[in-house]
Amino acid sequence: MPETPAKKAILMDCDTGVDDAVALLYLLADPDVDLVAVTTVFGNVGAATAARNTLSVLDVAGRTGEVPVAKGSERTLIGIEPELATDVHGGNGLGGVDLGEPAGALSPKSAPELIVDTVRRRPGEVHLLATGPFTNLAVALRLEPELPALVSGVTLMGGAAMAPGNITPAAEANVWHDPEAAHAVLCAPWPLTLVALDATMGEVMSEAQRLEMAASASPVAQFAARVLDHYFEFYRSIYGEKSCACHDVLAAAIAVGDIVPKRSMTVTATVDTGFGPSRGATVCDLRGMYKGELSQAGANCTVVLETAGDFSATVVERLIHGKRSAG
């Protein structure tokens, strides 16, 4: 009898806003994924609101109390009080959808403590997925300098390699919110995948797909359709029609191996931590592209530049019907 493959152990650090919530639901609907913990950070909303939203998402998925949730940083690595992106995700981070008090309770640990403790308990097994500013990961690196050797890998949603930024012309939001943290995380010696706007802006969910989820019999898909409505309105100003980019759920799918990038390069990536107009810009050394060099010697950051562009259908299918186990 062939052995059932081990589940993929994912620790997700997020600023649970709308697309983080969709990414969480995508992972929770996969029986081959073991979501070992969720930690939250400021960004779309404050870290405490993101933690509350995460507990609510676990309730929607029928997983109350099954996944430890810890609140993290409300300030940046250098102690700056952040400007939150509530205009994009709605005042409560879930598009204004109010689920009332979540049923679950938070872990007494801080987010960086939960990250370090979880990874130390399962050395070499846990993959870190970060879909918010990278502050908690940067603090966790300070708590445990051996962290890069203890994780199985790290996937970050963030940055823009050749694409324009989204929160400023030069910077993507997760990096812009905490450039110092992003710099520390990108420079650490762990196996990194950076799912940049270059790829995520090419993965668009349509209003027809959102309405398909709204009309489905799945409470998970109906919830996703409700919280996405506000986000879709915001994206009218970007794509010219009601729709949205699938940022965080694309990063989640790449982290668990559901999606193989169409184009990526493994290069050195750093962040502009100055205080000029390009603060928070990701500087990826793509100069090898002209001679077809896809991997720079000694580099550890695989920047995802392009995916197939048809992933939203998979997200809709997963949220409506769930996923059968591969085992």
Residues that bind ligand RIB (CB under 6 A): 15, 17, 19-20, 43-44, 131-132, 157, 166, 172-174, 247-248
Question: Look-up: residue for tokens 């979880």?
Answer: 118
CB of 271 to Ca ion, least distance (A): 17
Q: Where are the beta strands (DSSP E) in the chain?
A: 8-14, 33-40, 69-71, 126-130, 153-157, 192-195, 204-206, 243-245, 263-267, 269-271, 282-284, 301-306
Q: Which stretch binds Ca ion (CB under 5 A): 65-73, 98-106, 245-253, 305-313?
A: 245-253
Contact track, Ca ion, 20-59, x by CB under 5 A: x---------------------------------------
3-state SS, one letter per residue, for 154-178: EEEECCCCCCCCCCCCCCCHHHHHC
CB of 324 to Ca ion, least distance (A): 28
Q: Which stretch binds Ca ion (CB under 5 A): 129-137, 235-243, 267-275, 286-294?
A: 129-137
Please tell me the distance from the alpha carbon of residue 235 to that of residue 47, in angstroms, as a whole number.
Answer: 24
CB of 197 to ligand RIB, least distance (A): 7
Does residue 230 carry a catalytic annotation? Answer: no
The reply to whether 131 sits near Ca ion by the rule CB under 5 A is yes
The string of DSSP codes covering 27-78 is HHT-TTEEEEEEEE-SSSS-HHHHHHHHHHHHHHTT-TTTS-EEE--SS-TT
CB of 215 to ligand RIB, least distance (A): 25
Question: Look-up: residue for tokens 């996969």?
Answer: 30
The reply to whether 72 sits near Ca ion by the rule CB under 5 A is no
Question: Look-up: residue for tokens 């404050």?
Answer: 46
Does residue 247 carry a catalytic annotation? Answer: yes
Return the residue nearest ligand RIB (CB atom): 173
The number of angstroms, rounded, from the C-alpha of 318 to the middle of its chain's C-alpha atoms is 17
Q: Which stretch binds Ca ion (CB under 5 A): 19-27, 96-104, 183-191, 259-267?
A: 19-27
The reply to whether 172 sits near Ca ion by the rule CB under 5 A is no
177, 198, 247, 258: the catalytic one is: 247
Size of the chain, expressed as the number of residues it contains: 327
Q: How many CB atoms lie within 10 A of CB 1?
A: 3
15, 32, 258, 272: the catalytic one is: 15
* DSSP letter (8 states) at residue 289: G
Residue 44 vs 155, nearer CB to ligand RIB: 44
172 binds, among ligand RIB, Ca ion, none (CB under 5 to 8 A by kind): ligand RIB
CB of 19 to ligand RIB, least distance (A): 5
Q: Among all residues, which ones are annotated catalytic?
A: 15, 247
